Structure 1
Amino acid sequence: MKSALAPNSEIRPDTSRKPAGMAYPVLGAISLTHLLNDMMQSVLLAMYPILQGNFDLSFAQVGVITLAFQFSASLLQPMVGRFTDRHPMPYSLPIGMGFTFCGLILLSFAWNFPMVVLAAMLVGAGSSVFHPESSRVARMASAGQHGLAQSIFQVGGNIGSSIGPLLAALLIVPHGQRSVIWVSAAALLGILILYGVSRWYAANLTSSRGRQSLRKADNGLDHRQVLWALSILLLLIFSKYFYLAGLNSYFTFFLIDRFHVEVQQAQYALFVFLAGVATGTLVGGPVGDRIGRKRVIWGSILGTAPFSLALPYVNLEWTLILVFCAGAMIASAFPAIIVYAQELMPGKTGTVSGLFFGLAFGMGGIGAAVLGWLADATSIAFVYHLCAWLPVLGVVAFFLPDMRSRTVARTTAR
């Protein structure tokens, strides 16, 4: 990575006719910064009990913090992606991480509730810039292996999300709100790494690698077919992220309620699930490159159903096995969904990435709120019995157009 991204190294566009290979140092760099980005976001969410105690916040005010973060982190992403599709901005990556840095500094010194809300919006704005542009870099660095590149990029975010609460428990809970300033050092590291990535991005933007990765290739679908396929993908995103919200937010409560385990044991079990999610994210992309994204998408989400349907009825040992399998299966869909959507809308990498990463954030937040309300109104066991059926919606993926067969047909026709 050092040789590819060192500030003093000379970077030239690849002008040769020989296809460039996958740029693993660049992919490693954006995966690492994805880890840092999502770790810092999850630290913010893990701080809610501290902020509630410091400022005597009501649950409604905690909800406002979440709304501010989700608004800037999810709703702005498609707009940022659409703008950068038309006007690529390689150096927006370190600038976006700079928003996160400023948000964390403000959060560490925030003296009232409005300052906390502003800090949350700045952290979310950093994500809005980071995800669409980093996804574009991953595609540019992929050398045609788009699924593998997306998996490498996304697995960093999965790891970061799992580290954040642990970091909050070890650093912020014992030392208080001011200790967030130490977490901002991760944002500074991210800025330095992304500056090197931006230099590579700018150098390759007009090269054969850049033109090939961002060209508007014909996928053989008309406008109606594209809208139909996007509608199916949105339904699958709903199924996937509502189910993940149930596990991420309430799995520990389910274990405590059903098996009467200690909180610490429940947290260990949650890490088993998160390990499954990271594994599935890493595997789903390259498998999609080999066998087709449609097969991975329906096999991943629908294939989760046997594990999810059995989860509410098995003992603790089998719960750990099944929750790992469920996490791995359902997480393997997202890299394939992103690349499939990019192929549906060629030349709109930023718009697609911003839309689907934004939806992932939004559905996760809405899912957590809705399922929490439902658990209050009924019981945590009822929520898990209900959520177990969500992966069955994966059956609609059968109706997605098969992009591989269309590509083969167009190639044969030529």
Structure 2
Amino acid sequence: MFNIVKKMPKALWIVVLAHGVTDLSAGALLVALPFLKAKFALSYAEVSAIALMQNFTSSVSQPLFGYFSDRSPRPWLMPVGCLLSGVAMVASLLAPHYYLTLLFTAITGLGMAAFHPEAAKTANRLSGKAKGKGVSLFAVGGNGGFAIGSLLLATLLYSNVSTGVLFYILPYALLGIPLIQMTRNLPRPEVKQVGSLKTLRASINWPLLSLLGMVLSRSTVAAGISTFVPLYYVSYLHGSEMYASSLLTVYLATSALGTLFGGAMSDRFGSKRVMLYSILPISILLYLFPIVGDVGAFVVLSCASILLSATFTSSLVLAQKMMPNNVGMASGLTIGLSVGLGAMGVLALGKVADIWGMPVIFTILACLPVVGFVLTLFVEEPEEETVSLVVQVSK
């Protein structure tokens, strides 16, 4: 495991930390929603609109930021996007009116969207030939930030200090100077990659669309587990809230292991092979989940989390390979749009649960990895020599 993080440049670690700090706001939103509901006496629909606003703006606009990043490198988007997401999150909590909260929440999402494509592209470049390892570290940074964000904001909101929420800005301020210095000192690419509509159109093909379809199915499964596992135990089985929370914690914590594992295996065996061997077993695990018992549920969810995270890292690396002149767009499509649409799929699953009951959800979630496996069969992984040739020809 230690070989995964050896010899990675200092600049990459700064990008990883910046990813974690930026994604604090994604995790913090989970704690902010009950606070805002009580503050403004909101309905559940109005609370859902706040969550939808951040998810929508951060996911849909990421490919656009990625496109402009490919047209011309814009490393300044990393510090600006990171800081904007933190400041806007605090502003949404302090806003005196609900509609101002919606506005600042949208700005938070835009800040996150501005950061991710440029940062993912930078992580790809700084990783050298070990792109799987570098991108997996980048993803782990985001996972850590998401997990810490809810804990950080909960501590500040309920600290009995009236201005405690202002300390939420502290991580952004501490990282700001080294992040700005890093962006100024970034080495120029050895091969100039200029993305355009022409190179983007040339990249769009059935293998790429199949990959994005796999990412969509995988993202729906991941978001579905996070959403419905607690509801299944607490609302349907009337079980312990502590047990449901523990399950979710273990599920989220083991994702870091899968992210690192997927990156290392992608470098060694290829991204497509990792996805093929990772995604299909998830179907079996989710089929077993409702029937394995209390202890077995921890084992099943841990294994599913590792495999899901492995497919995420592999799909991001592969998308960047398949779009060598539009690496920012590739990152925006996989991290942003496809993942965001997967989260939207949870809304449809909720409607299914209302009509046919909660157990049906896990049957559907168990079928989606099969769809992802079939789509992965149509993915074609380019060789490194082919990627280099495409970049040179486009100059």
The TM-score, its normalising length taken from structure 2, stands at 0.88
What corresponds to 1:294 in structure 2? 272
Return the alpha-carbon distance in structure 2 between the equivalents of residues 174 and 388 of structure 1. Answer: 41
> Contact 1:288–1:296 at 8 Å: present in 2 too?
yes
Q: 1:87 aligns with which of 67, 72, 77?
A: 72
2:18 maps to which of 33, 52, 57 = 33
Relative to structure 1, the CA distance from residue 361 to residue 407 in structure 2 (aligned partners, 3 Å threshold; closer, same or farther) is closer
- Could you list the runs of 5+ residues in structure 2 that have no partner in the other structure? 1-5, 390-395
Seen in structure 2, the aligned counterparts of structure 1 residues 87 and 66 have a Cα distance that, compared at 3 Å, is same
Q: Given the alignment, which residue of 367, 373, 386 partners 1:389?
A: 367
**Shift in Å, 1:92:** 2.1
For residues 184-233 of structure 1, give each alpha carbon's deviation from its aligned partner in whole angstroms, at most 9, with x where no partner exists: 222223323321321232xx02xxxx224x6489xxx9978851012111
Identity within the alignment, %: 30
Q: Which amino acid aligns with 1:254?
A: Y
Matching of residue 399 in structure 1 with residue 382 in structure 2: no
Q: Give, in whole Å, the separation in 2 of the partners of 1:106 and 1:300.
A: 41
Match of 1:10 in 2: none
In 2: Cα distance, 1:32 partner to 1:307 partner = 33
State the 1:33 CA deviation: 1.5
1:146 aligns with 2:123: no
Counterpart of 2:138 in structure 1: which amino acid? Answer: F
The TM-score normalised by the length of structure 1 is: 0.84
Whole-angstrom distance in 1 between the partners of 2:347 and 2:207: 28
Alpha-carbon contact 1:39-1:163 (below 8 Å) kept: yes
| 1:71-96 alpha-carbon deviations (Å, 9 max, x no partner) | 32111111111111112112221111
Q: Is the 8 A contact 1:154 1:335 kept in 2?
A: yes
Query: What is the RMSD of the two structures over their aligned residues, measured on CA atoms?
Result: 2.6
Q: Secondary structure at the match of 2:90?
A: helix
Q: Match for residue 62 of structure 1?
A: 47
Contact kept? 1:108, 1:179, Cα under 8 Å? no
Indicate conservation of the 8 Å contact 1:55/1:113, yes or no.
Answer: yes
- Cα distance change of structure 1 residues 92 and 323 upon mapping to structure 2, 3 Å threshold: same
Q: Please give the secondary structure, in 2, of the residue aligned with 1:88.
A: coil
Q: How does 1:265-414 map to 2 (within 5 A)?
A: 265-393=243-371, 394-404=373-383
Aligned to 2:210: 232
Asked if residue 156 in structure 1 is aligned to residue 141 in structure 2, the reply is: yes
In the TM superposition, what whole-angstrom CA distance separates every residue of 1:257-310 from its partner, at most 9, and x where no partner exists? 576542122211111111221111111112111101110122221232221221
CA distance in 1, matches of 2:86, 2:308: 32
Q: CA deviation at 1:70?
A: 2.1
Secondary structure of residue in 2 paired with 1:57:
coil
Q: Classify the secondary structure of the residue corresponding to 1:327.
A: helix
Q: Does residue 27 of structure 2 align to residue 42 of structure 1?
A: yes
> Comparing 26-35 with 115-124, which one deviates more in the overlay?
26-35
Structure 1 222/247 Cα, relative in aligned 2: closer, same or farther at 3 Å?
Answer: closer
The residue type equivalent to 1:95 in the other structure is V
Question: 1: CA distance between counterparts of 2:277 and 2:285?
Answer: 13
Q: How many angstroms apart in 2 are the aligned matches of 1:85 and 1:280?
A: 29
Match of 2:23, SS? helix
Which of 72, 77, 97 is the equivalent residue of 1:112?
97
What is the rounded CA distance, in whole Å, between the counterparts of 1:59 and 1:237 in structure 2? 29
- Structure 1 contact 96–125 (Cα < 8 Å) conserved: yes
Q: What is the aligned partner in structure 2 of residue 4 from structure 1?
A: none
Instruction: Give the length in aligned residue pairs.
Output: 379
Contact 1:50 1:176 in 2 (8 A): no
Does the 8 Å CA contact 1:281/1:332 hold for their aligned counterparts?
yes
Between the aligned partners of 1:22 and 1:126, the Cα distance in structure 2 is 30
Amino acid paired to 1:65: I
Corresponding residue for 1:264? 242
Change (3 A) 1:225 1:122: closer
What is the letter of the counterpart of residue 265 of structure 1?
Y
Q: Which residue of 2 aligns with 1:251?
A: 229
1:137 aligns to what? Answer: 122
- How many Å apart are 1:112 and its aligned residue? 0.5
Counterparts of 2:285 and 2:333 in 1: how far apart (Å)? 29
Instruction: Give 2:392's aligned residue.
Output: none
Contact 1:22 1:142 in 2 (8 A): no
Task: Compute the displacement of 1:61 (Å).
Answer: 1.7
- In 2 relative to 1, CA 389–31 (structure 1 residues): closer, same or farther, beyond 3 Å? same
Q: By how many angstroms is 1:66 displaced?
A: 2.4
Describe the SS at the equivalent of 1:389: helix
Distance 1:249 1:98 in 2: 28
d(CA) in 2 for partners of 1:401, 1:223? 17
* Contact in 1 for aligned 2:217/2:342 (Cα 8 Å): no
Tell me the SS of whatever aligns to 2:11: helix
Cα gap change, 1:270/1:222 in structure 2, threshold over 3 Å: closer, same or farther? closer
Quick one: which amino acid aligns to residue 284 of structure 1? Answer: G
Deviations along 1:322-348, one digit per CA (max 9) or x if unpaired, are 100001001101121112111111111
Q: Output one character per residue of 1:40-85: Cα deviation in whole Å (capped at 9) or x when no partner.
A: 2220232111101111112222232223212321111111111111
| Consecutive unaligned residues in structure 1, runs of 5 or more | 1-20
Distance 1:112 1:252, change over 3 A: same
Give the Cα separation in 2 of the matches to 1:298 and 1:362.
Answer: 23
